[in-house]
A and B are shown apart, each in its own frame.
Chain A
Amino acid sequence: MPKEIEVTVNPDGMTKTDFSGFAGPSCLDAAKRLRELLAQFGIQSEETLFVPKPELEAALENDQVAHREIGQERS
């Protein structure tokens, strides 16, 4: 499955970026890289909405559970 990034640019400069086809939370890395590259062109993005898709939500929850379990093992 290809990775897709779809960016909708409104006349007022607002953007909506839709990441799909990414494995685990790697879409967050892609979003960070995109922000960094846009900053090189002088574009600063101020996030107004973040909507995880169900797959990312599950991956983030698993990650939190794993971190919690590691923390409990250590304590």
Chain B
Amino acid sequence: MSHIVEARTTIQHPDLTLLRQAVEIVAGAHEGGRVEDHILDYGRRRQVISSGLAVFTGRVFRGIGIEIDAQGMLSFKGDPWTVQQEFNQLQQEILQTYVSLATMAALQQMGYSAEASQEDTQVVIRGVAYA
């Protein structure tokens, strides 16, 4: 009647509306967080991000941008100097939030009522269907 699956996920050709939503959620969770369409380089010069999505926080003050290449693959662009840990954490949070939002949307499309909760570093999404 039931089973458990563990899987490794990769993102290619993401849904841009959902990606923006994920970026806004992550920015909103950090002090001084905001979404911009550019990052700053080491000389504080603006570098436009092709997806139009970059996150700035109080710590990552030069920003982290999300680039999408011709194959639809995501990469992160920015200068992590002195903030490498926060830079890496933001990347993980954006990916985790995107996968979580997509999972919520998929479960709802399947007719499940879905709720998400944060449990330590994990996001747990519970979908229930009574039909």
Residue ranges of A at the interface with B (Cβ–Cβ < 8 Å): 2-24, 27-28, 30-31, 33-34, 37-38, 40-53, 55-56, 59
Choose from B5, B72, B112, B125 the contact partner of A47 (Cβ within 8 Å).
B5
- Taking chain B's interface residues, is the majority helix, strand, or loop, or is none over half, making it mixed? mixed
> Which residues of the partner chain B approach A7 to less than 8 Å between Cβ atoms?
103, 107, 124-125, 127
Whole-angstrom distance between the alpha carbons of A7 and B103 in the complex?
A: 8
Judge whether A11 and B121 touch: CB under 8 Å: yes
Q: How far is the CA of A42 from the CA of B14 in the complex (A)?
A: 5
CB distance B106 to A9 under 8 Å? Answer: no
Chain B residues with CB under 8 Å of A14's CB are: 6-9
A21-B2 CB under 8 A given contacts A13-B96, A46-B7, A46-B8: yes
A17 with B4: CB separation less than 8 A: yes
Query: Is there an interface contact between A8 and B4, defined as CB atoms closer than 8 Å?
Result: no
Give A56 to B1 CA distance when docked, in angstroms.
4
Residue-wise interface mask of B (7-26) relative to A, using a CB-CB cutoff of 8 A (1 in contact, 0 not)? 11111111100100000000
Give the contacting residue for A41; candidates B7, B15, B122, B129; CB below 8 A: B15
A48 to B7 alpha-carbon distance, docked (Å): 5
Chain A min CB distance to B40 (Å)? 26
The chain B residues found within 8 Å of chain A, CB to CB, are 1-15, 18, 72, 92-93, 95-96, 99-100, 102-103, 105-107, 109-110, 112, 121-130
Minimum CB distance partner of B106 in chain A? A37
Bound CA–CA A31/B12 (angstroms) = 20
Contact B3 A46 (CB under 8 A): no
Contact between B9 and A43 (Cβ–Cβ < 8 Å)?
yes
Given the interface contacts A4-B126, A6-B125, A33-B110, does A13 sit within 8 Å of B99 by beta carbon?
A: yes
